[in-house]
Amino acid sequence: MFRRSNAGATEGKAQGSQSPQGAQTAEAPEKIKPSVQAGKGRPTPKRSAAEASRYRTVTGSTTSGRGPAKAPDPRRKLTPDEKAKARDDRNRQVQAMRQGEEWALGPRDRGPAKKLARDYVDAHRRPMEFYMYALIVLIIALFAGKSNSALGSYMQIFLLAIIAVIVVDAILLRRSILKVLHERMPKESTRGLAFYAIMRALQLRRFRTPAPRLKPGDEF
């Protein structure tokens, strides 16, 4: 009787010791996954392979050479053909900017509101447009009136009159351009638009950039 019970206990222990191993063996295939199925569906490339790929992309090389990605050397001398091409590109951009093409304009001149302000200023004659001519006359008169005190006092009054005309005309221009913008483009921002229009109006017409599209008196 004792032998049978001991044998049964021994068999039970043996079965108990084998059951965890059997469970681990059954769970093992579920935990092991091939590298091609993990993550993005392909194994992560080695660092050397990634650097070689970037190097070939930058340099345009078709060889399997290795090396870090390098940008073109800015100190490299341009060939005559490259210089001619760069000069043509600059001339084309300047011409496009003079014509008012949007892609060639700088940040200061871009946007439909700025275009509207330019057209409004170019379509009207304003007193401040002639202040440069008045300043030239004033400078000549000041040099000529050094020996004549009466002429010098008149030139000071003339200078104050020029400043007053510019200030009044700038106020009127600001009011007009903001009114036109609110009527035609109510959703556009007016920030800096009045100053932009005033500075354009102070320039001589032939030196304005972009070049005027409208002539004085044209329908705006």
pLDDT more than 90, % of the chain: 23
Q: Is 60 inside any structural domain? A: no
Indicate if 88 and 138 belong to the same structural domain.
no
Indicate if 90 and 150 belong to the same structural domain.
no
Alpha-carbon distance of 170 to 3, in angstroms, equals 119
Q: Is 66 inside any structural domain? A: no
Number of neighbours of residue 130 by Cβ within 10 angstroms: 13
Q: Is 192 inside any structural domain? A: yes
What's the chain's average pLDDT? 74
Look at residues 118, 124, 121, 154 and name the one whose alpha carbon lies nearest to residue 138: 154
Indicate if 177 and 93 belong to the same structural domain.
no
Q: Are 187 and 181 in contact (CB under 8 A)?
A: no
Indicate if 193 and 118 belong to the same structural domain.
yes
Give the pLDDT score at 67: 47
Residue-range definition of the domain harbouring residue 97 = 80-105
Tell me the per-residue pLDDT of 10-67, one tens digit each, with 9 for 90 and over. 444 444 444 444 444 444 444 444 444 444 566 676 666 666 666 555 445 444 444 4
Indicate if 176 and 199 belong to the same structural domain.
yes
Q: Which of 70-79, 149-158, 166-175 has the lowest mean pLDDT?
A: 70-79
Peptide bond connecting 45 to the previous residue in cis, omega within 30 degrees of 0: no
Indicate if 203 and 120 belong to the same structural domain.
yes
Q: Is 62 inside any structural domain? A: no
Q: Is the pTM of this model over 0.75?
A: no
Distances 172 to 168, 179, 203 between C-alpha atoms, Å: 6, 11, 17
Q: Are 162 and 138 in contact (CB under 8 A)?
A: yes
Indicate if 120 and 185 belong to the same structural domain.
yes
Alpha-carbon distance of 212 to 201, in angstroms, equals 11
Number of neighbours of residue 111 by Cβ within 10 angstroms: 17
Number of neighbours of residue 95 by Cβ within 10 angstroms: 11
Higher pLDDT, 15 or 215: 215
